Amino acid sequence: MTISVSIDRGIARVTLNRPEVHNALNAAMIADLHGAFCRLGDDAGVRLVVLTGTGKNFSAGADLNWMQQAAAQDFDANRKDAMALAQMLYTIDSCPKPVVAVVNGAALGGGVGLVACCDIVVAQPSAQFGLTEVRIGLIPATISPYVTRRIGETQARRYMLTGERFDAETARRIGLVHEIGDDAGAIISNLMANGPDALADTKALIRDVAHATMDEALLAMTAERIAARRASPEGREGIAAFLEKRKPGWAQ
């Protein structure tokens, strides 16, 4: 396997495991990541997913040997390979469980795409980032929706066009990274204190309201969602636990 997956007390850890090529993405890793996030998203025993890389670097982006082989195929086969990457990124982005990236070393090209698909990102102080596709005559196509949404069009224009590398502090300033540190322990603890179904519903809510027009339909949708959550078993347990000054069942 190009990745390793472990689950301990509701926390799944997905580790990119091609350190000899700086965890570069190839067809096998793309398929393994897609399958892992599909399974973890459906696993009721999993509360959250941590994504990181083994070795010195998080991910150097696409494996150039794989890219060269894909480019040598006819257009339909080449497009199929690219579509597999696009679908893998979407699977991570839409995973119903919170996904936390812990970035070690360099995250370049597609590695930045992986980071942008995660809900929360912690970068080690020495982490480096770069949207370097243009340096080798390519474009950051499949990752562009996630990266542009994350850092905004203005920053995307700079970093996608220059291909320059930037440090963890810059990544935090432009919105790619949330925290700088060596681990995500505090963030994981906060996530584990929350209702699992509420987290999934909140992720879906954010996606649906982020670019929605403020109109009667949006007001009705948000009202319906909170009404349904208040009446849900998890919502009732959470309210009761707060009023009774005890931990809710999911936090025992």
Distance CA 17, CA 122 (A): 19
Instruction: Indicate the angle between helix axes 110-117 and 144-162, nearest 10 degrees.
Output: 140
Q: Which of 20, 133, 169, 179 is catalytic?
A: 133
Which residue, chain included where needed, has tokens 């941590």? 50
CB 21 within 8 A of CB 63: yes
Q: List the beta strands (DSSP E) in the chain.
A: 3-8, 11-16, 48-53, 99-103, 106-108, 120-123, 128-130, 165-167, 179-180
237 part of the active site: no
Six token digits for residue 19: 């350190």
CB 53 within 8 A of CB 15: yes
CB 156 within 8 A of CB 137: no
Closest by CA position to 118, among listed 90, 105, 99: 99
Instruction: Give ∠ CA 68-55-80 in degrees, rounded to 5.
Output: 30
Ordered strands of the 128-130 beta sheet: 106-108, 128-130, 165-167
Instruction: Give ∠ CA 13-11-252 in degrees, rounded to 5.
Output: 170
Distance CA 238, CA 230 (A): 9
Active site residues: 133
